[in-house]
Amino acid sequence: MTILKGIRDETAKEDIMRLQQLGAEFRKTNRGGLITFHGPGQLVAYPIINLKNFKTSVRWYVDRLEETVIKICDELGIKANRSPDTGVWVEDNKIAAIGIHASRYVTTHGISLNCDNDLTWFKHIDPCGIKDKGVTSLTNETGVICTTNNMMPIFLKHFEQVFDCKTEEFDTDLQKKILDGLYNKIMIDAM
């Protein structure tokens, strides 16, 4: 399990140590937002987009990511919506978190959609710094196991519709090479 800490996050060192003792890997990143969780059963999408090819607005980009998830939920019969707290919500429970970074209108980081993940990890943190709301998953909301493998084609379909684009699939070795290079650059920039 990985706990991510945004650049504005002020998680205390003793809390970090407590999370590590529970088995979490802890990473500080340069994305917006506060502490969050990534783990198995969660669809994590970090689109790398030059917004100059779309619209030079970070708010527009966040709105489009939210719209993608809302359309996924709608297809599955889930009533999801936006909130001033950012992300996508089913009533007072967050189903998808958004934490992005943009430099010269090129985006990194993105969204995490709770498909069929262990939600108990969220009990150990205040996800995105929000204390008085819960989390949910596609599986919880539909009563059907929604694996990331089953949800990925639905995600890509709605992403392509919302962004009016085509996605490209890369083989695993090329993905790793690209992501390792980006991760190293991001970590250097975050220091």
One digit per residue, pLDDT tens: the chain, 191 residues? 554 444 455 667 787 777 778 777 766 666 656 667 778 899 999 888 899 999 999 999 999 999 999 999 999 999 999 988 788 999 999 999 988 888 888 888 889 999 999 888 777 666 565 677 789 999 999 999 999 999 999 999 999 999 999 988 778 888 788 777 766 665 555 44
> Is 95 one of the annotated binding-site residues?
no
Which of 115, 128, 146, 165 is flagged as catalytic?
Answer: 128
Instruction: Kindly report the length of the chain.
Output: 191
Tokens of 84: 């001033």
* Alpha-carbon span 58 to 99, nearest angstrom: 11
Please report the pLDDT score of residue 120 as a whole number: 84
Query: How many CB atoms within 10 Å of residue 10?
Result: 10
Contact status, residue 101 vs residue 31, Cβ threshold 8 Å: yes
DSSP one-letter code for 91: T
* Alpha-carbon span 50 to 191, nearest angstrom: 23
Please report the pLDDT score of residue 10 as a whole number: 67
Please report the pLDDT score of residue 190 as a whole number: 46
3-state secondary structure at position 108: strand
> Is 98 one of the annotated binding-site residues?
yes
> Is 136 one of the annotated binding-site residues?
no
Q: Is 58 exposed, middle or buried (0-12, 13-18, 19+ CB in 10 A)?
A: middle
128 is catalytic: yes
> Is 37 one of the annotated binding-site residues?
yes
